[in-house]
Amino acid sequence: MLRNKNNGAQVPAWDENIATLRAFAMMHVLVVHSLFWPVHPELYSDASIFRALFLFEMPLFFFLTGACNKSGKRGILNFYFSRFQRIVPAYLVYCLLGAALTFATGKGLRQGFSDIFYLFSVFPPPGAPVTHLPYLTRALWFVPVYLSIVLILPLLQRIHHSCRQPYACIPFVGCALILFALVFFSFPGNPRTGNILSYVIFYSFWAYLGFYYDRLDLRAAVKTKIKVIPLIIVCFSITGVFVYGNKNFSDMQANKFPPNFVFLAYSLGVMGLLYLFYSTLHRFLAFCRCLPAFAWIFTQYSTHTYTIFLYHPLCFLAIKFLSEWLALWDKLCAHPFLCISVHAVLAIPLGAILGRFLSWPERIKFFPVIGKS
């Protein structure tokens, strides 16, 4: 249960603000990947820094993960069973579908499964074999990171519930300090270990921040949220200092993989802006939902977010196959703005369709509920 700051009463687990942010974040993923995936980088290299400024969707996803899993009242076993039952079957079905598509497009059954099998490993090593199909594996880094956060979320819950203020803020400070240190010092031993640590620490920060969701009056007027403005200024100032000192930090795409302190400061500033102007975003999406088609799309994105994220590369694959079949792919790629627009406009409804019809693996139940839920 979450507390609604508007009236101080308990509200159901389905919360309209969370549903809105889920749908917005997932639609934003489709727009971001329309910016990055279809067009060759050389065609719009001058805009690479600009398009990288849109990369704030993953912090928002993990913030919502924390917001939806604050209480910890289900028990650790129930929590793990429910999360893994939702995450793993859908992931494995996607892997098998990827193998089938690889086979169907001409590589043969053995090569198809060989290329796609690496998906089953957690944190696949650099240079691991990939399917010859484009897009299919580009977003799957999210799954092992998500599973890692799920594993440590009960620990974060315990810290949050057992520590009084200001000690409950220690995880924020600790995560920020470690990411800050990793900017200047490499993690000893295997570099991959440092990269994995960066992912887990960075997204733990956002999951822990989500525990404070019930303290946010998201739909309040902007003038009542002015206390967040100094935080926004500080975060963007820190980002500017790092960029001024090293131009490589200007590319948020590079800062995101693996996430570093600069990306933490930048994304925290962007999330502050999102909080500041959320009421405007909510009104805009509510207006769009007056259209029955968009209302249906919104429902799919807010209800089947994980499925759509997992399967959304198929949207881009379908658009590519269709445009090649119509002999339009080369012409489309020659005009970056048109290419981005076409992909975003088509991918969003296609993602809703995939979410509606491919979400069944999330409902597979291997384990019974144990004790109190």
Count H helices, E strands: the chain? 17, 2
256 strand-pairing partners: 259
Distance CA 262, CA 307 (A): 30
One-letter amino acid at 313 equals P
One-letter amino acid at 132 equals H
Element (H, E) at 112: helix 109-116
Distance CA 142, CA 145 (A): 5
pLDDT at 8: 37
pLDDT per position as a tens digit, 107-126:
654 454 444 445 444 444 44
Please compute, for residue 146, the number of CA atoms within 13 A of its CA located in the half-sphere on the CB side.
20
DSSP string, 13-45: SS-HHHHHHHHHHHHHHHHHHHHHSSS-GGGGG
Distance CA 294, CA 309 (A): 18
Distance CA 276, CA 23 (A): 18
Instruction: Select from 67, 268, 261, 74 the least CA-distant residue to 160.
Output: 67
pLDDT per position as a tens digit, 26-41:
999 999 999 889 876 6
Residues 6+ positions from 108 with CB-CB distance below 8 Å: none
Residues 6+ positions from 321 with CB-CB distance below 8 Å: none
Q: Where are the domains of the chain?
A: 2-224+268-363
Please answer whether residues 281 and 274 qualify as being in contact, where contact means their C-beta atoms are separated by less than 8 angstroms: yes
Distance CA 49, CA 254 (A): 10
**Mean pLDDT in order along the chain per 10 residues (373 residues):** 40 75 97 86 58 88 93 79 88 84 68 48 48 83 90 92 84 91 76 81 96 92 93 96 90 89 96 96 95 96 95 95 92 87 96 95 72 42
pLDDT per position as a tens digit, 329-344:
888 888 888 999 999 9
pLDDT at 11: 36
pLDDT at 166: 79
pTM of the model: 0.90
Cβ neighbours of 42 (radius 10 Å): 7
